[in-house]
Amino acid sequence: MTDAQRLAGALNLLAKGPQFSYTQARATARKEGSVDAAATKARNEDFNPEVDGCETFVMKDGSVCEWMPGQQRYAART
pLDDT in tens, the chain (78 residues): 899 999 999 999 999 999 999 999 999 999 999 999 999 999 999 999 988 889 999 999 999 999 998 899 999 999
Q: Give the up-direction half-sphere exposure of residue 13: CA atoms within 13 A in the CB hemisphere.
A: 6
Nearest of 68, 34, 71 to residue 54 by alpha carbon = 68
Q: How far is CA 28 from CA 8, 14, 48, in A?
A: 11, 9, 19
Query: CA–CA separation, 46 vs 27, rounded Å?
Result: 19
In this prediction the pTM is 0.91
- Outline where DSSP puts E strands in 1-78: 57-58, 64-68, 73-77
3 state SS of 22: helix
